[in-house]
Structure 1
Amino acid sequence: MDNLRKNSHRLEGNTLAILDSSGIREACDIHEDRLSFLDAVRGASLASITPSPPTWKMYDAILRILKEGNSLELAVASFQLLTDLEKRYPSVYLRESDNLETDSSGAWVPVVNKEAWSPFIVETRNCSGEASQLCRDSKSLLNSASFSILTEEIAIGGHSTIKIVQNMLLFQYVVRSLEADFLPRHTFCKETFNWDFLKESVLCKLVAYRKMNYKSIVHGCMSIISTRFFHKTNICFKDLSDKDGISADLPTSCYVGLSFAFPEIQRKTCDAAQKLLILIMELDVIRKEADTFGLTSRSDGFRIPIIDTVLDELTYNKDQLSPFLEAFGEPKWKLEIILLYFGKYYSRPSTRTRRTNTSPNNETFEGILNCFSNPVISGGILRKVTSEVACLLLAQAFKCYLSLQHDPKNVAFVAEKIGSSTLPEICNGLVAALKNLRKFDDSLELTSFQKQALTTAAALASMKS
């Protein structure tokens, strides 16, 4: 261990010396020095026969290049290096248990490196020794406030093209880092129900921190997802041919390929925003279960479940509803959002009590379709929800149903959220619901997606019958 630490510090001195510059330097020279530094770290920590993990100062320098570098080449190179280092030197991972008979934790044993580097400085973080000091001294690490600002800046897109790209890549990386720390803990917690282990995840600490602008992050992520298609037409961003913000001291070759790389970077940023929302939703599920068994405390920092915050955003900004559901690709959570959205606008049975453990039938997709076959109930819903919104939600829910039903892992979820109806019954229910909506609203025009859902449902119903 001591030899490894000595090697890491020797590596730190050799690599950081590349970045040391005194006096006035040309922009081209600084650019080349940064690239040389990134290459040196990659060679020593990833490509060497005896690789050594980077020190905190080296990690900090790489992150600073990603945030402050002034070219696409530096942004991509630093992002890729951080991503590869995350895979090679994980902070948390699961290994197979050596003795399954005596190990009460099941098939996996968690391994945690408490001194591992993280791009977040979480206020409740419990570092020790050198890592703790460097964590406090760093000016590059993100905290809850800067993470919230980052999501807002990406959603607004009011910076130069290079800065937008840097923000997108930084966002992608920090979400990957949160995921890499969270998923092993989540898997282990589901097997053993060790809530304390999951509570130590960076994501849980970040969400639980009371000074974090939670709603702002949710709003930013939803805006990134919802405006995905507008970004493709450059409505929200400056023309990529605009050289504003690009240093004239750097060669043009530093920016070649920006217009080609931008759409892919943008797509993966939207995916990262979706992934972050899903991670917090999964965390909410476990926290709710832990609270049921009395495993949580006030210090755990419970907030309003994120899915309720998402619903509030979609309720008060209906223009966001269609683009968000179109871009949000996780069928399980999309269906959950749609059912809860419908649930806000129909009257529940008067016999339902807070002690009821099972959902009433009309909180399933089957139940919603049945509601629209009843003129009284459907009329009540349509007084609160427009026929256009109802068609959109039904078509998207049907798409989720088709995506979920063939995966054996989703059997329990489908039974709970869809109901007991067969595929032909669901298809016939959708056809009937959309036809009834047309009767209620003669001016209703189905979108191409809704027409496709209607045609698919009719075809499947006839085939199965």
Structure 2
Amino acid sequence: MGTKRRRGDGGMEENTMAILDTYCFSKSTEHIADDRLSFLEAVRSGFLVTENSAGPTNKMYKAVFKILRVETSLDLIMSSYQLLLELDKRFPQAWSPFSFGTDVTSSEKQDDHSKISGSIDAIEFHRLIEEVSKVPDQANTEILTTEPLRNMLLFQYLVKLLEGDLVPRNFAFTEKSDWVTLRESLLNMILVSRKITYKGLVKDCLSTLCELSQFSTKCIHDMRPEQTGSTEITEKCHTALALALPEVVKRTCAAVQKLLIMIVELDSSKKAADLEGWTTRADGTRTPATEIILDELTYDKNILFPFFQALDKPKLKLDMIVQFLKKYIPKTSVRTRRSNGSANDSTFGGVLNCFSNESSTKGIVKKISSEVAQLLLAHAFQAYILLPSEHSTESKEDTADNSLRNICNNMISAFTCLKKADKNSGILPFGKEALFTAAIMLSRNS
């Protein structure tokens, strides 16, 4: 069907591509910007303005994508990015810039813009994540260029494509146990690629999320425009960049988080497929992303606050905090108040019970500081109250012990024990906010 529709587009493709002569990507001429803008406008007019038109050919998609990858002009970066979004909305899943062919030679891997094609492979995607992580440093230099903005918009677009491809495939897996379709998803093809290190990609996503979340909370000061071209034009470009950057950083931070969540969801589906025996040796094995993240948080507690501050998915946040705290809970205190004495540190209520007496709390604080414990409990409580009850990780048999009222009471008790366990450390502001919220909720339910 798609091939038949596109056969009639030969004339339009030829005319449109003629506007964008190939030398525009390999030579520097004063007409390049005008030619590329004309090309983008021709694509827009031919496929978005005209009703009932077939989608652009793959060659045209690649040309638009290539402009986004190589351009330094703010106008062309924004125009190509917006055009790709609009085309994707009008013609969903009509094309993919991802390429998962065999390894190429080093001579083909030149960084020269003239060598950049209209497709991207796993290693280039990983490199893009690394480049995005440098945005805070690039934005705080004396010379402000469009490169950080371009990299962030490119990353946002690619994550959007990955999501559009993964969601229906994961739904098919959930509803029809179709692992083969999910295995062939773009994201899974990236993660199983031998060109990249899977753990390295997850770690870079984590560090990028933390870097961007911290940067997005700060104001951008003393960024000077690159001293090229007309002063008036440069100043206008600088002003536009300075105004756009904070919002683009915020959206890029959300995109990094979305990528991590998609990886976690894919891990979960793969685990389910493994248990059912649907996977093969060709699927390989990999450490779940959550374990990699938890290990990084354990080794570098400086990223604890920015990570959980940036993570806004209640269920994932609560699950990760519970798993993190389980590492530091003394084994002797991992007991419920039920008479059978079974271990129950897998729920938020169970974790709070481990902070219910001064002795066990001291044992936890010796391994992590009182400040870290307060941070984690406050974020876990925030996630708990935002999580719909039907999606709660708490099991039905623990409902009585883990009711909202008991959780609030145990939060207050936990912070009381923390204060006693470390008399030199008071309750921090975010801890006080959590306690205030718990007290308000108790008063409303009294």
- For the aligned pair, the TM-score class normalised by the smaller chain equals 0.7 to 0.9
Question: Is 1:149 matched with 2:127?
Answer: yes
Q: Is the alpha carbon distance of 1:367 and 1:312 closer, same or farther for their aligned partners in structure 2, counting shifts above 3 Å?
A: same
Structure 2 residue identity aligned to 1:9: G
Q: For 1:164, which of 145, 148, 151 is the aligned residue?
A: 148
Percent sequence identity over aligned pairs: 40
Q: Is the alpha carbon distance of 1:282 and 1:250 closer, same or farther for their aligned partners in structure 2, counting shifts above 3 Å?
A: farther
Look up the SS of the partner of 2:439 in the other structure. helix
Q: For 1:46, which of 48, 56, 74 is the aligned residue?
A: 48
Structure 1 residue identity aligned to 2:47: S
Q: Is the alpha carbon distance of 1:255 and 1:16 closer, same or farther for their aligned partners in structure 2, counting shifts above 3 Å?
A: farther
Q: For 1:442, which of 417, 423, 426 is the aligned residue?
A: 423
* TM-score normalised by the chain length of structure 2: 0.86
Residues in 1 aligned to 2:15 and 2:232: alpha-carbon distance in whole angstroms: 26
Q: Please state how far the C-alpha of 1:10 moved relative to its aligned partner.
A: 2.2
Structure 2 residue identity aligned to 1:19: L
Tell me what 1:280 maps to. Answer: 263
Structure 2 residue identity aligned to 1:426: I
Q: Please state how far the C-alpha of 1:400 moved relative to its aligned partner.
A: 0.4
Tell me what 2:109 maps to. Answer: none
Residues in 2 aligned to 1:138 and 1:54: alpha-carbon distance in whole angstroms: 21
Question: Is 1:177 matched with 2:126?
Answer: no
Residues in 2 aligned to 1:37 and 1:250: alpha-carbon distance in whole angstroms: 27
Tell me what 2:110 maps to. Answer: none
| Kept after mapping to 2: 8 A contact 1:428/1:457 | yes
Tell me what 1:139 maps to. Answer: 117
Tell me what 1:426 maps to. Answer: 407
Tell me what 1:13 maps to. Answer: 14
Residues in 2 aligned to 1:215 and 1:418: alpha-carbon distance in whole angstroms: 35
Q: Please state how far the C-alpha of 1:255 moved relative to its aligned partner.
A: 5.3
Q: Is the alpha carbon distance of 1:294 and 1:222 closer, same or farther for their aligned partners in structure 2, counting shifts above 3 Å?
A: same
Q: Please state how far the C-alpha of 1:4 moved relative to its aligned partner.
A: 2.2
Q: Is the alpha carbon distance of 1:418 and 1:35 closer, same or farther for their aligned partners in structure 2, counting shifts above 3 Å?
A: farther
Residues in 2 aligned to 1:350 and 1:342: alpha-carbon distance in whole angstroms: 13
Q: Is the alpha carbon distance of 1:17 and 1:293 closer, same or farther for their aligned partners in structure 2, counting shifts above 3 Å?
A: same
1:69-101: CA deviation from partner (whole Å, max 9, x where unpaired): 11222111111111222222223xxxxxxxxxx
| Kept after mapping to 1: 8 A contact 2:122/2:195 | yes
Tell me what 1:84 maps to. Answer: 86
Residues in 2 aligned to 1:207 and 1:349: alpha-carbon distance in whole angstroms: 40
Structure 1 residue identity aligned to 2:61: Y
1:268-315: CA deviation from partner (whole Å, max 9, x where unpaired): 000000000000111111110110010011211321000011111111
Q: Please state how far the C-alpha of 1:394 moved relative to its aligned partner.
A: 0.3
Q: Please state how far the C-alpha of 1:416 moved relative to its aligned partner.
A: 6.9
Residues in 2 aligned to 1:73 and 1:363: alpha-carbon distance in whole angstroms: 52
Residues in 2 aligned to 1:416 and 1:39: alpha-carbon distance in whole angstroms: 58
Residues in 1 aligned to 2:148 and 2:373: alpha-carbon distance in whole angstroms: 36
Look up the SS of the partner of 1:50 in the other structure. coil
1:7-55: CA deviation from partner (whole Å, max 9, x where unpaired): 333222111111117697654x322221221111122122212312112
Aligned counterparts, 1:347-362, within 5 A: 347-348=330-331, 360-362=343-345
Residues in 1 aligned to 2:215 and 2:326: alpha-carbon distance in whole angstroms: 32
Look up the SS of the partner of 2:200 in the other structure. helix
Question: Is 1:383 matched with 2:366?
Answer: yes
Q: Is the alpha carbon distance of 1:195 and 1:348 closer, same or farther for their aligned partners in structure 2, counting shifts above 3 Å?
A: farther
Tell me what 1:113 maps to. Answer: none
Residues in 1 aligned to 2:48 and 2:331: alpha-carbon distance in whole angstroms: 58
Q: Please state how far the C-alpha of 1:3 moved relative to its aligned partner.
A: 5.2
Tell me what 2:272 maps to. Answer: 289
Q: Is the alpha carbon distance of 1:393 and 1:124 closer, same or farther for their aligned partners in structure 2, counting shifts above 3 Å?
A: farther
| Kept after mapping to 1: 8 A contact 2:374/2:428 | no
Tell me what 1:32 maps to. Answer: 34
Q: Please state how far the C-alpha of 1:186 moved relative to its aligned partner.
A: 0.9
> What is the root-mean-square deviation of aligned Cα atoms in Å?
2.8
Q: Is the alpha carbon distance of 1:251 and 1:416 closer, same or farther for their aligned partners in structure 2, counting shifts above 3 Å?
A: farther
1:373-402: CA deviation from partner (whole Å, max 9, x where unpaired): 133322222221111111100000000001
| Kept after mapping to 1: 8 A contact 2:179/2:273 | yes
For these two proteins, the number of residue pairs brought into alignment is: 418
| Kept after mapping to 2: 8 A contact 1:363/1:417 | no
Structure 1 residue identity aligned to 2:438: A
Structure 1 residue identity aligned to 2:360: I
| Kept after mapping to 1: 8 A contact 2:128/2:155 | yes
Aligned counterparts, 1:333-412, within 5 A: 333-348=316-331, 360-405=343-388, 408=390, 410-411=391-392
| Kept after mapping to 1: 8 A contact 2:122/2:196 | yes
Residues in 2 aligned to 1:191 and 1:166: alpha-carbon distance in whole angstroms: 38
Q: Please state how far the C-alpha of 1:226 moved relative to its aligned partner.
A: 1.3
| Kept after mapping to 2: 8 A contact 1:148/1:213 | no
In structure 1, list runs of 5 or more residues that go unmatched.
Answer: 92-115, 126-136, 353-358
| Kept after mapping to 2: 8 A contact 1:311/1:337 | yes
Tell me what 2:338 maps to. Answer: none
Question: Is 1:299 matched with 2:282?
Answer: yes
Residues in 2 aligned to 1:217 and 1:35: alpha-carbon distance in whole angstroms: 35
Tell me what 2:75 maps to. Answer: 73
Q: Is the alpha carbon distance of 1:269 and 1:346 closer, same or farther for their aligned partners in structure 2, counting shifts above 3 Å?
A: same
| Kept after mapping to 2: 8 A contact 1:151/1:171 | yes
Q: For 2:99, which of 115, 121, 129 is the aligned residue?
A: 121
Look up the SS of the partner of 1:361 in the other structure. coil
Residues in 1 aligned to 2:84 and 2:163: alpha-carbon distance in whole angstroms: 14
Q: Please state how far the C-alpha of 1:405 moved relative to its aligned partner.
A: 3.4
Aligned counterparts, 1:48-67, within 5 A: 48-67=50-69
